[in-house]
Homo-oligomer: A and B are copies of this chain.
Amino acid sequence: MPTIFFYGPELEREKKRELIDSFTRSASKATGIAPSAFVVYLLPTSPEEVGVGGKLLTDRQRDGK
């Protein structure tokens, strides 16, 4: 029962479906484990809660980086 966590931007429902489907198929193919055994967690992170290169993502985006 492998498990996949995705920390990234909030997605629309249709994009979530695509991502869960493609992650599961890729991982099933690489491991030889049936798709039914996979669990995927999509954990949306706000630019207010992420730092990249020492800067808050909100600030980087405002500054056009």
A contacts, CB < 8 Å to B: 1-9, 11, 13, 15-31, 33, 35-45, 48-56, 58-59
Given contacts A5-B4, A9-B33, A13-B56, A51 and B27 within 8 Å (CB-CB): no
Interface SS, A side: mixed
Min CB distance A63 to B, Å, is 13
Copies in the complex: 6
Task: Compute how far the CA of A11 lies from the CA of B7 in the bound complex, rounded to whole angstroms.
Answer: 20
Q: Enumerate chain B residues within 8 angstroms of A36, measured Cβ to Cβ.
A: 52-54
Q: Would you give the shortest CB distance from A43 to chain B, in whole angstroms?
A: 7
A39 touches B8 (CB 8 A): no
Q: What are 19 residue pairs bridging A and B, where the CB atoms are less than 8 Å apart in the complex? A: A1-B1, A2-B6, A2-B7, A2-B9, A5-B5, A9-B31, A11-B31, A13-B48, A15-B30, A20-B51, A21-B55, A23-B51, A26-B26, A36-B53, A39-B50, A39-B52, A40-B50, A40-B51, A44-B49
